[in-house]
Chains A and B, each alone.
Chain A
Amino acid sequence: MSDLLYSEEEEALRSAVRDLLADHCDAPGVIARTESDAPHDLAAWKALTDGMGLAGLLVPEAQGGQGATHREVAVVLEELGRAVAPVPYLTSAVVATEALLELGDEALLAELAAGRRIGALAVALNVAAGGAYKVVRHEGGALHGELTGVADAAVADVLLVPADDGGLYAVDAADATVTPQVSFDLTRPLATVTLNGAPGRLLGDAEPAVRRALRTGAGLLASEQLGLADWVLTETVRYLKERKQFNRPVGGFQALKHRLAQLWLEVVNLRAAARNAADALTTGTDADVAVAVAQAYAAPVAVHAAEEALQLHAGIGMTWEHPIHLYLKRAKSDSIAYGTAGVHREALAGLVDLQAP
């Protein structure tokens, strides 16, 4: 059975990341940044990577990383979710890194692990492991084509691009045209990647690398969703203890108490599911089922939590200045990222032998 608890070291890591984000990533700052040309918080990214070495958690020490596991990464993602931090951690330190771990490109891995460069897998954010993804044309040693929906491409230094010959190529961002798209989630913006004869360095077969990267992305996204849901629940409970209407704290009305208790139950369940996925990815035991279960459960819960938070904050929840909208946008976007709940349920049908009619 999986270890579903947090170790003391993991709790220490959590505190350190939370403290750092409290200093770097407060909500007014994140909101202000989303309205600028540079929504990503590269100062926070530098503090996480240079200062704490967190970009290399999944990379073995021999290859320039920290040699930690998915369990520690999951704790980092919980905290990043709590802060809706606009840093390319999931996309670079998890998804791109897992693709490179599959292909074994040590030089590039070391650069990503050290946080010296940011990587992005040039596959649309909504694609699930095993799902179809767009590829570019490989012709005469150069790459041609356009890929859309690539998360965090705007800050990537290197793009991992699948091509029609079945290869995955490393392309310098400087050799591509990266055009930001107007994104629903302001804190994890998407971009279009256009390649007009860009040089690419072949890393290996795309299929296994993309599959592994997206499976890990989906599994650990559940921890980001957990952090997000936990934050909105905590904030909403705090607000409803303070906010008075009809001469009583609003949180004393049973209609609201039951909704919050129900939400708490969902978050408790999500914690077990997310921990199970992180542990299964670490040990490799039962990982496909654990990831599918976690994603099928996590997405609706995170969205529900953010939607409830907005409704229970009422008028203030609808404003731009209150951060709840950042959480709702992230939660809804996360519910599509790396496959919807429905896609993961269908995957599960095959995995646990509950076939469709």
Chain B
Amino acid sequence: MIDAAELKRRTAELLAAQPPATTDRLDFLRARFDAGLAWVHYPEGLGGLGAARSLQAVVDAELEAAGAPDNDPRRNGIGLGMAAPTILKYGTEEQKQRYLRPLWTGEEVWCQLFSEPGAGSDLAGLGTRAVREGDGDWVVNGQKVWTSSAHNARWAILIARTDPDVPKHAGITYFLCDMTDPGVDVRPLRQITGEAEFNEVFLTDVRIPDSRRLGAIGDGWKVAQTTLNNERVAIGGMRLPREGGMIGPVSKTWRERPELRTHDLHQRLLKLWVEAEVARLTGERLRQQLALGQPGPEGAGMKLAFARLNQEISGLEVELRGEEGLLYDDWTMRRPELVDFVGRDAGYRYLRSKGNSIEGGTSEVLLNIVAERVLGLPSEPRTDKDVAWKDLAR
């Protein structure tokens, strides 16, 4: 098993062969991937060395200290957080070799074509169709929505219905979709913040070769679970210092603007400060468990806590700002490259946080998941389980 000392040795070797100061950024990132120092817990040949996941921090610290460029992970959150683990688990050897390296270096950004106007929380009810032609290609028609990064993405993970004659979960297949192919139409979807961070994606006779199917035909729901589980961890599981989240800006405002303080807001701020700190500790505890290879079920709750806290804290800050709270920084429609929860002013944070309890699974669905998978409570009675998708009422 590779240990921290060995990783340090290999990192030093990489830095010696590719001095960051004189090496092209992409060349360095590719070399880092090829040295197995991209995500050390991935297998050898795929950017890793099969080392413990917790040892990545050792590599990152050494590289940062040496001034090495990073792969700008925020730009490709869906690729790194969701597409990659799914491709690793279900991809063929060819698929892993083709997609993982440019994904990790950031040369190819990914987006996720899952949600549909008619299939949100009931994601398995999706209606986008993929029909197999005689030559083996699939022809895809349908509409997806809430697609972040689609306007920057080179690739998409896509789930589509391949068999309407079986119950809904059984007739779905998972594909890798080329966003530059004819028939892929990305349109901005403007949101309550004024920004168009998301997109609608219309798919009209898009041809996907069978070599870009991920997993078996009809196994798409199972494959998608890997993506969805990783999505929730990615959303709720960021490592934060104290006051590192949404509580940071409001605490700063409180300290710098004594004229805004009221007793009511003080009580509420302290309560939220405690809850934010406790949520941070829970996240830290989860990471300590993961580092030992003992993932706990806490992850299921992290996103719930994160959503509620963001909403309450940002709402409090709008009130705290008083007259300024009546204003907004800018309603101009923009197409941001990054999803930014905290970067703008309090009004923006308040509005954007409304999405936190919806995106990546609504809080109501997540509470059901906790109740059923963690606590083992009986599931809801299901009327659609044994009915062919085409016979469901719509």
Contacts and interface: CB of A to CB of B under 8 A. Distances in A.
**Secondary structure of the B contact surface, majority rule:** helix
B285 to A, nearest CB: 4
B359 interface: no
Contacts of A5: 285, 288-289, 292
Interface residues of B, number: 43
B133 to A, nearest CB: 43
Contacts of B379: 252
Contacts of B251: 352, 354
A258 B364 contact: yes
Nearest to B277: A293
A356 B368 CA distance: 39
A89 B371 CA distance: 35
B282 A268 contact: yes
A276 B281 contact: yes
Given A264-B370, A265-B304, A357 B258 contact: yes
A257 B372 contact: yes
Given A5-B292, A348-B270, A354-B255, A272 B285 contact: yes
Nearest to A257: B371
Interface in B230-272: 251, 254-255, 258, 261-263, 266-267, 269-271
Contacts of B281: 2, 4, 269, 272-273, 275-276
Contacts of A258: 364, 367-368, 371
A217 B378 CA distance: 40
B152 to A, nearest CB: 34
A4 B288 CA distance: 7
B107 interface: no
B285 A354 contact: no
Interface string A143-186: 00000000000000000000000000000000000000000000
A260 interface: yes
A268 B277 contact: no
Contacts of B262: 357
Which of A241, A248, A252 has most chain B Cβ within 10 Å? A252
A293 B372 contact: no
B278 interface: yes
Interface in A210-239: 237
A248 B379 CA distance: 11
A249 B304 contact: no
Contacts of A260: 371, 375, 377
B185 interface: no
A354 B254 contact: yes
B380 interface: yes
- Interface SS of A by simple majority: helix
Interface string A248-261: 11011010111011
Given A264-B301, A345-B274, A349-B270, A3 B288 contact: yes
Contacts of B375: 237, 257, 260-261, 264
A21 interface: no
A4 B266 contact: no
A344 to B, nearest CB: 8
Interface string A324-357: 0000000000000000000001101100111111
B273 interface: yes
A272 B368 CA distance: 23
Given A5-B292, A252-B378, A268-B301, A356 B285 contact: no
Nearest to A271: B285
A97 B372 CA distance: 44
Kindly name the residue among B261, B262, B304, B377 whose own CB sees the greatest number of chain A CB atoms within 10 A. Answer: B377
B284 A357 contact: no
Contacts of A254: 368, 380
Contact of B377 (A257, A272, A276, A345): A257
Contacts of A123: none
A106 B292 CA distance: 40
B370 to A, nearest CB: 4
Interface in A97-153: none
6 contacts: A252-B379, A256-B377, A275-B285, A293-B277, A345-B271, A354-B273
Interface of B: 251, 254-255, 258, 261-263, 266-267, 269-271, 273-275, 277-279, 281-282, 284-285, 288-289, 292, 298, 301, 304-305, 364, 367-368, 370-372, 374-381
Closest 7 CB pairs of A and B: A252-B378, A257-B371, A272-B281, A261-B370, A357-B261, A4-B285, A272-B282
